[in-house]
């Protein structure tokens, strides 16, 4: 079964645009869970452009499904994760000023750093995942870090699919097969959408979780949030 974790960053973007508390992030997250989503994901960035660190604390109190916090493990991020104790932490090698996530980890170059950070979170019973490209060497390197899971960075798949190139899924199929052999759990995310999710699910084995935000919230503007969540759930069956 592949779980749907809804990234609510863009709800926070809308909220912050007017400086108040509309839409109420915690209410939207609770409603998303009531619609059937199996997780809530946030990615607090150092500049708190959308998700604020306080949002992580507030959501921890009300999320009843899986809570996944994504981010670059700078000190204040590590401290926030240890304070809030989410179900899962996903480590992403984002530059501070990145407009969005745009790369997976070099798990060979950063092996020692990742091993240390992952050991810290695992010692606090937080499941770990690291954001990687669908590159077999990076998957092998990920297994060396002791991480519980990897999150396959799916932008290249989404771009290829949008151009009609279904062969873009092959590296992800291969990466998932190798990761499973290496006893790594497999998550995926970034630019997944109602258009491309079913084919990805069909071709990528052992997929435990997808985290989806930007497309899902955008699609909801036309189709409604409850309807879109259920459309994803149906495509993930």
Ligand X SMILES: NCC(=O)COP(=O)(O)O
Ligand Y SMILES: CC(=O)[C@@H](O)[C@H](O)COP(=O)(O)O
Q: Which residues bind ligand X (CB under 6 A)?
A: 7, 41, 43, 70, 151, 189-192, 211-215
Q: Is 188 helix (H, G, I), strand (E, B) or coil?
A: strand
> CB–CB of 136/182 below 8 Å?
no
Scan for tokens 């190798």, then name that residue.
178
215 binds, among ligand Y, ligand X, none (CB under 5 to 8 A by kind): ligand X
Which one, 7 or 128, has the nearer CB to ligand Y?
Answer: 7
CB of 189 to ligand Y, least distance (A): 5
User: Among all residues, whose Cβ is closest to ligand X?
Assistant: 189
* Residues lying near ligand Y in the complex (CB under 6 A): 7, 9, 43, 70, 92, 100-101, 131, 189-190, 213-214
User: Could you give the residue numbers annotated as active site?
Assistant: 43, 70, 190
Which residues are CB-neighbours of 159 under 8 A, at least 6 positions away?
Answer: 168, 191
> CB–CB of 176/198 below 8 Å?
no
> Residue 97: how many CB atoms within 10 A of its CB?
8
7 marked ligand binding residue: yes
Scan for tokens 């090698």, then name that residue.
93
Known binding residues for 3-amino-2-oxopropyl phosphate: 7, 18, 191, 213-214
Known binding residues: 7, 18, 45, 50, 100, 191, 213-214
């Amino acid at each position: 079964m592949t779980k749907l974790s809804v990234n609510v960053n863009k709800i926070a973007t809308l909220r912050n645009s007017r400086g108040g508390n509309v839409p109420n992030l915690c209410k939207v997250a609770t409603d998303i869970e009531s619609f059937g989503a199996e997780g809530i994901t946030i990615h607090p960035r150092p500049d708190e452009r959308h998700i604020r660190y306080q949002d992580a604390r507030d959501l921890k109190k009300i999320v009843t499904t899986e809570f996944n916090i994504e981010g670059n493990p700078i000190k204040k991020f590590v401290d926030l994760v240890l304070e809030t104790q989410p179900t899962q932490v996903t480590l992403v090698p984002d530059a501070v000023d990145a407009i969005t996530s745009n790369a997976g980890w070099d798990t060979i170059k950063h092996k020692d750093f990742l091993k240390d950070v992952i050991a810290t979170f695992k010692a606090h019973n937080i499941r770990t995942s690291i954001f990687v490209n669908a590159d077999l060497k990076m998957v092998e390197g990920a297994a060396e870090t002791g991480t519980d899971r990897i999150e396959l960075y799916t932008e290249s798949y989404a771009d290829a699919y949008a151009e009609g190139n279904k062969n873009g899924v092959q590296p992800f199929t291969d990466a998932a097969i190798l990761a499973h052999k290496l006893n790594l759990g497999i998550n995926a995310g970034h630019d997944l959408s109602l258009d491309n999710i079913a084919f990805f699910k069909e071709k990528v084995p052992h997929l435990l979780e997808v985290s989806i935000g930007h497309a899902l919230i955008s699609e909801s503007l036309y189709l409604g949030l409850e309807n879109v969540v259920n459309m994803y759930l149906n495509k993930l069956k």
